[in-house]
Structure 1
Amino acid sequence: MDYLPYGLWAILLFFIIRRMFPVKGVKHITVAELKENLHDKNKQYIDVRTSAEFKGRNIKGFKNIPLHLLYEAHGLLKEKKVVLICQSGMRSNKASKVLKKQGFKKITNVKGGMNAWS
């Protein structure tokens, strides 16, 4: 059985851990902070969970754009703030990376996602 050299393990581990860290330039808020600002018309509220998850339980005011579809435009405005949520915060963190690459600058991720919403 062949083993990977320690250097390759280190590189692989670095990339795995890096994916879990928050994206630079993205604001992170709690669900309590979200509740305080939920009716701000100057923000775009996006739920990146699947359509089935969204239909099962969602927050009024959020638009459902599943993560795999976020690579397309969907009419989001780059100059407006975007607030992202998912089930736990992992997919919305990935979604923030996708939007950053598309040129969005005002991105907020909800920590804990729907799991933290009560």
Structure 2
Amino acid sequence: MPARTATRPDPHGPVFVTAKGTGYAYVSFFPLFKRVRRAAGLTARGRARPRLHDLRHTFATAHMNAAYAHRGDPDRVLSLLATWLGHSDAAHTYWYLTATGELMARAAGMLESDTEREPS
């Protein structure tokens, strides 16, 4: 049985949990994140170091990119992302999407497909 499941965490609770199944306080979790960041080889670019919060942006962007890549429904994915990220409104989730070239090209490709199907 995976360690996370053995703690019986609240399914609506935090993603990262202690051995007791409770959420970490940021002050105690941050040193763990620094170790993981170092072990994963995530290095600073200039003065900017990868932050825990950056994972939320990467997660949201990767899921939206996958939705476009697999011809998914972007509105549905955005709604799911809002739920997963704990946002009360999907409009708040737009801020987590990074406008990568790949994501923008995929989104534009879906728009082009829609306009090609419309009668002229």
Interval of TM-score (by shorter of Structure 1 and Structure 2): under 0.3
With normalisation by structure 1, the TM-score equals 0.22
User: Rg larger in 1 or in 2?
Assistant: 2
Q: Looking at both structures, which has the greater relative contact order when contacts are Cα pairs under 8 Å and sequence separation is at least 6?
A: 1
With normalisation by structure 2, the TM-score equals 0.22
Structure 1 or 2: more helix by fraction: 2
Structure 1 or 2: more strand by fraction: 1
